Chain A
Amino acid sequence: DAGITQSPRYKITETGRQVTLMCHQTWSHSYMFWYRQDLGHGLRLIYYSAAADITDKGEVSDGYVVSRSKTENFPLTLESATRSQTSVYFCASSGRGAYEQYFGPGTRLTVT
């Protein structure tokens, strides 16, 4: 489990501010994912990346931006945070796309 980490673990920010959540994995997995978890909705995919410099949208990508310049890092940026983006954010990685995804510890984000 120490192979995938997220920072910060907790973040409080104000509406309209930009905030970046970090994800780092040491397994050299080619795939990385960002999910948000909200009560009643389970885990919803925000963005995913099949390799460095290759990213694609998930089902709830509006208001989020990602980049992946290095295989091991996959930062998620909220360009102008809104209260509806208050959630728990999980990063995951996999060596083979949908198969055997492993999750980071999560970041609890509160937008006031």
Chain B
Amino acid sequence: GENVEQHPSTLSVQEGDSAVIKCTYSDSASNYFPWYKQELGKRPQLIIDIRSNVGEKKDQRIAVTLNKTAKHFSLHITETQPEDSAVYFCAATATGFQKLVFGTGTRLLVSP
């Protein structure tokens, strides 16, 4: 079945810097790759997603890129702010496209 690996597990940046989180997946049939942000004590919230027929998608300061050949996708956050501090999870569709497999999360800390 699908396996998703996520790196790094923790990432510390200074306010204003960029942050990049990377994920790899194993099932070449996966076609949907969402990213979730989870603030401390809160629920995971969908912040951006990308389909397999698109190479890049942007939404203000966040962007996601997908390399289907290498089976990896990345989250890019530019001009980071303290409120970007959270745990970020990537995910990919599992066989049958009815469910997701999540990575183990990246804790992002943005220092003022």
Contact = CB atoms under 8 A, between A and B. Distances in A.
Contacts of B103: 42
Contacts of A103: 36, 43-45
Nearest to A108: B41
A99 B102 contact: no
A21 B44 CA distance: 18
Interface string B74-112: 000000000000000101011011111111110000000
B57 to A, nearest CB: 14
B54 interface: no
Given A90-B43, A90-B44, A106-B43, A100 B49 contact: yes
Contacts, number: 57
Nearest to B96: A97
Contact of B102 (A1, A42, A56, A97): A42
A48 B89 contact: no
Interface in A37-77: 40-45, 48, 50, 56, 58
Contact of A42 (B34, B42, B45, B105): B105
B68 to A, nearest CB: 17
A101 B43 CA distance: 12
Nearest to A106: B43
A58 B44 contact: no
Interface of A: 1, 31, 33, 35, 40-45, 48, 50, 56, 58, 90, 97-106
